[in-house]
Amino acid sequence: MPQYQAPLADYQFLLKDWLSLDSHYQSLGVTDFDFELASEVMSQGAKFAEDVLAPLNRTGDEQGCTLKEGQVTTPDGFAQAYHEYIANGWNSMLGSAEYDGQELPYSMAVPVHEMLHSANLSWRLTSMLTESAVLAVTRHATQQLKDTYLAKLISGEWTGTMNLTEPQAGTDLALLSTKAEPQDDGSYKVTGNKIFITGGDHEWTSNIVHMVLARTPDAPAGVKGISLFLVPKFLPDGQGEPGEANAVSVGSLEHKMGIKGSPTCVMNYDGATGWLVGEENQGLVCMFTMMNDARFQVGLEGLGASEASFQGALAYARERVQSRAPQGVQCPDDKADPIVFQPDVARMLLTQKALTEGCRAMAVLYSGYMDAERFGDDDQKTTASQVLQFLTPVCKAFMTDMGLESASLGVQVFGGHGYIREWGMEQLMRDVRIAQLYEGTNGIQALDLIGRKLTRNKGQMMETTFNELSKRVEAITDTTMQSQANALLNDWRATSADCLGLAPEDVASAACDYLAYTAYSLVGVLWYSMADAAKQSDNTDLASAKQKTCDFYQARILPRRDAHKVAMQAGAASVLSVSGSEFDYR
Ligand SMILES: Cc1cc2nc3c(=O)[nH]c(=O)nc-3n(C[C@H](O)[C@H](O)[C@H](O)COP(=O)(O)OP(=O)(O)OC[C@H]3O[C@@H](n4cnc5c(N)ncnc54)[C@H](O)[C@@H]3O)c2cc1C
């Protein structure tokens, strides 16, 4: 089993030397926080991830969850770890101070979140969705709902879920049929079936708060007739404590390829009492508050798995002795050399490292804009919102695609042993696979990027993202790297602008390639910027490794960008040409 060690030095470099955390906070007028505190938060988070969560990862996968007499039980140790997590305040890092949250900047919380995902992806999902539910309640619920639910969700005394999916309604939420009938007391009776609900039930907390999409009786058809409801497992009594059981039950547990320690439930709502969140028929807008947060977090799942797989692969490659290295004997006293000296193994390890650290830079960049959207002045908020909207699908899809690629490379470095359960490498691959599917498949993220984010206001979000990244490029001191980063950025802008006038079928068929082209370009820019900043670091190993990994990225990974550009510019004709019986002739 890979022994997980949180990448603290990389995060310290990214926050201190690359994001310049103290100046970043000053520019937002944030005076209570600094790099020193961020460092302490990360160290403590690392301990929890390494010592408490990582040891439960393998057993969680083997035991899975069980459903007995309507109650779900998670693997041994999961509930206890959760109780430790909330007792130490981790759940409340981002919550509003008005409801006893700590209101920490995202740039402090995101490193910890990556560590939780690396250590135990299954375990992390329930608290992750609770944070997203907190956002939806904070932004859209009535004062009464906020007062009843927020403090308990923020502390983690209760957890939250997200209920969109139904058997006939996955990507296409226009098809959802769960009903909500208004009652005289202002509540609603919610009736319907939801599938695939993460954290739908468990034994961790005394109550669970379901955020459910449903239709009121006279709602218009399609997505314009969807509303959001808050439906607790137990109805709060006069003191706000869990009282009478609501008409919510778990129909069954899904049997899955991975994340077996996470309870994925079929949920039945049989006239369950719920309350409207936000305006009637505006449910999708409210749910998007939750989903955008969750989409970025799912990106972190990819990053976390990539880091964990890299660590396992590197340790193994240093130990495993096979063949002689083609560049010359490395260990003359042994019969063969460690495989880490094989160029093909080095290629795999460096691919994992370059993708992991590149995606981590993207996550840290994103967290800086989340800080700005929360603490900044009006102009900073507007800019941040545009960059975040543009980058959300990129982070979600690219970081999860790279997470799977890295986890697969990790298996490959182990050879046949990677396919055997005891090493834990195959679990990482099985666990991270879901991240490309949920919170909107990666295909849907790509359509969101090219079809909505790029085109809205004639490319304004892309232009704002370009301007913001240009500032990073201007700050690069090495003139060669600066001009290379500039060339990348300018090519991306021009190519993006060319997409604005495409026909709908060309947009849809170019989507995945455009997202990949965008991500490889932006991560290329970030690598130049990181390598340059690393020169200022006191850590000389880190400085030289960043430069060499940047060189590797630009030489061996960035060329993928060109292939995606050619493919996206090929148009829809070849994609749509084979049809009907032409698929079936064999
Ligand atoms: C383990 C697990 C946990 C989950 N947790 C939750 C949860 O907590 N809450 C929740 O509500 N849901 C949850 N989901 C559901 C998940 O979000 C959906 O599975 C996902 O959104 C895709 O929907 P679908 O499975 O119905 O696939 P479909 O929508 O049927 O899609 C099938 C394929 O068609 C493609 N496709 C569909 N429509 C289009 C289109 N318009 N354009 C291009 N391509 C398209 C998709 O990209 C996909 O490749 C979970 C799922 C799993 C497996």
What distance in angstroms lies between residue 400's CA and the mean position of ligand 1's atoms? 15
pLDDT above 70: residue 2: no
Each residue's pLDDT tens digit, 422-464: 999 999 999 999 999 999 999 999 999 999 999 999 899 999 9
Closest residue by Cα to residue 214 from 263, 153, 125, 278: 278
What distance in angstroms lies between residue 444's CA and the mean position of ligand 1's atoms? 9
Report the nearest-CA residue for atom 31 of ligand 1. 171
Averaged pLDDT, 515-532: 98
Closest residue by Cα to residue 440 from 284, 212, 276, 222: 284
What distance in angstroms lies between residue 342's CA and the mean position of ligand 1's atoms? 40
pLDDT for residue 537: 85
Report the nearest-CA residue for atom 52 of ligand 1. 196
Question: Is 8-143's fold the same as 159-281's?
Answer: no
- Ligand 1 atom, smallest distance to 199 CA: 8
pLDDT above 60: residue 59: yes
Each residue's pLDDT tens digit, 268-317: 999 999 999 999 999 999 999 999 999 999 999 999 999 999 999 999 99
Closest residue by Cα to residue 79 from 15, 71, 473, 389: 71
pLDDT for residue 546: 98
Collapsed DSSP state (helix, strand, coil) of residue 25: helix
- Ligand 1 atom, smallest distance to 165 CA: 11
Can you give the residue ranges of every domain in the chain? Answer: 8-143, 159-281, 450-573
pLDDT for residue 408: 98
- Ligand 1 atom, smallest distance to 442 CA: 47
Structure token digits, residue 40: 């302490």
460 burial (CB, 10 Å; 0-12 / 13-18 / 19+) is: middle
pLDDT for residue 414: 98
CA distance 295 to 301: 10
Of all residues in the chain, what percent carry a pLDDT higher than 70? 100
Report the nearest-CA residue for atom 29 of ligand 1. 171
CATH topology of domain 8-143: Butyryl-Coa Dehydrogenase, subunit A; domain 1 (1.10.540)
Catalytic site includes residue 84: no
CATH of domain 159-281: 2.40.110.20
Predicted TM-score (pTM) of the model is 0.97
Q: Which amino acid is residue 356, in one-letter code?
A: T
Ligand 1 lining (C-beta closer than 6 Å): 162-165, 170-171, 196-198, 256, 264, 434, 437-438, 440-441, 443-444, 447
What distance in angstroms lies between residue 147's CA and the mean position of ligand 1's atoms? 33
Collapsed DSSP state (helix, strand, coil) of residue 273: strand
Residue 229 · residue 212 · CB < 8 Å = yes
pLDDT for residue 417: 97
